[in-house]
């Protein structure tokens, strides 16, 4: 199975996953250390990073100069009324407000989450649309000029010759990963390990990147994208980024607030 980021922790804690036997993965050493040992699975006991994605600040360069933006806080500029797209994702949206306030995007402090909600209420007049189904589309159509975007979607738009540039905010981008994991009651764990090891081959990972437009966690497979800062940010931007993690029982608080934001309550 292929759970995303902090769902690994949720599934592990609920007894849904079994440990991955690294000794059966000949290609484990091919993985980029930037993508190992994340908070949701510190030793990669239950998950192997597969497809890497990062959310940055997207700018339609036909409408705005990307040099004018270097922070998530820039989205709150009142001159941007009705011009912004946010991901239709609770945790990603709250992440930018929490980081703007100087907190972790994975905060489990109820007061900090309350503050982030109040901050996001101030942002709502600037938000035209929430979109995670085809997030590059509002930029491509000229419907919005600024907002959030996954780096793979931005790179795909750039390949089509569209005027999209991705800025890595000074507070850090939002990093997430689709991981490979084995269900607790899997009947053929030998085949599961062989499949994971197959996907970790550099030549196979390179084909996955070419097909999806996203990097994989396999270091050698990313050589072709080293000069593309949209897909492969400088190390300092990778270091500033924050990986999503589970927030336990606070998930409901986040979700309830997000519904209120979208419905204007």
Cα(9)–Cα(265) distance, integer angstroms: 32
**Which pLDDT belongs to residue 46?**
97
> Please, is 149 exposed, middle or buried when counting C-beta atoms within 10 Å of its C-beta (0-12, 13-18, 19+)?
buried
User: Has residue 2 been placed in a domain?
Assistant: no
**Which pLDDT belongs to residue 246?**
86
**Which pLDDT belongs to residue 121?**
97
pTM of the entire structure?
0.88
**Which pLDDT belongs to residue 180?**
97
Cα(112)–Cα(217) distance, integer angstroms: 32
Contacting residues for 227 by C-beta, under 8 A, at least 6 apart? none
The CATH number of the domain holding residue 109 is 3.40.190.10
User: Has residue 237 been placed in a domain?
Assistant: no
Same domain, residue pair 14 and 109: no
Same domain, residue pair 253 and 154: yes
Q: Which residues of the chain have pLDDT under 50?
A: none
Question: Is beta strand 174-180 parallel, antiparallel or unpaired with respect to 242-243?
Answer: parallel
Same domain, residue pair 133 and 258: yes
Q: Cβ(215)–Cβ(231) under 8 Å? A: yes
Q: Which helix (H) or strand (E) holds 11?
A: helix 7-13
Same domain, residue pair 125 and 149: yes
DSSP string, 82-130: T-EEE-S-HHHHHHHHHHHTTS-TT---HHHHHHHHHHHHHHGGGEEEE
Strand partners, 129: 85
Cα(205)–Cα(51) distance, integer angstroms: 9
**Which pLDDT belongs to residue 67?**
93
Provide the number of structural domains found in the chain.
Answer: 2
Same domain, residue pair 150 and 96: yes
Cα(2)–Cα(253) distance, integer angstroms: 26
Q: Cβ(5)–Cβ(54) under 8 Å? A: no
Question: What integer best gives the mean pLDDT of the chain?
Answer: 92
Quickly list H helices, 147-250. 151-159, 189-199, 202-212, 235-240
Q: Which domain holds residue 67?
A: 54-174+243-263
**Which pLDDT belongs to residue 226?**
79
Same domain, residue pair 157 and 75: yes
Same domain, residue pair 157 and 183: no
Q: pLDDT digits over 245-261, tens only?
A: 889 899 999 999 999 99
């Amino acid at each position: 199975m292929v759970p995303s980021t902090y769902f690994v922790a949720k599934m592990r804690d609920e007894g849904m996953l079994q440990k991955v036997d690294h000794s059966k993965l000949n290609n484990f050493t091919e993985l980029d250390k930037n993508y190992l040992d994340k908070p949701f699975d510190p030793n990669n006991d239950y998950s192997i990073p597969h497809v890497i994605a990062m959310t940055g600040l997207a700018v339609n360069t036909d409408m705005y100069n990307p040099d004018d933006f270097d922070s998530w806080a820039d989205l709150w500029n009142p001159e941007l009324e009705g011009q912004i797209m946010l991901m239709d994702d609770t945790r990603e949206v709250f992440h930018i407000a929490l980081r703007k306030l100087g907190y972790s995007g994975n905060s489990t402090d109820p007061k900090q989450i309350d503050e982030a909600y109040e901050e996001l209420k101030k942002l709502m007049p600037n938000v035209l649309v929430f979109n995670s189904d085809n997030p590059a589309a509002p930029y491509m159509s000229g419907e919005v000029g600024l907002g959030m975007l996954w780096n793979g979607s931005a790179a795909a738009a750039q390949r089509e010759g569209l005027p999209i540039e991705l800025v890595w905010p000074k507070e850090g981008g939002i990093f997430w990963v689709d991981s490979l994991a084995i269900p607790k009651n899997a009947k053929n764990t030998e085949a599961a390990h062989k499949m994971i090891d197959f996907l970790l081959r550099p030549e196979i990972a390179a084909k996955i990147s070419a097909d999806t437009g996203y990097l994989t966690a396999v270091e050698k497979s990313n050589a072709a994208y080293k000069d593309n800062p949209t897909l492969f940010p400088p190390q300092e931007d990778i270091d500033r980024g924050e990986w999503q993690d589970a927030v336990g029982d606070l998930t409901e608080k986040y979700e309830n607030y997000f519904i209120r934001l979208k419905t204007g309550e």
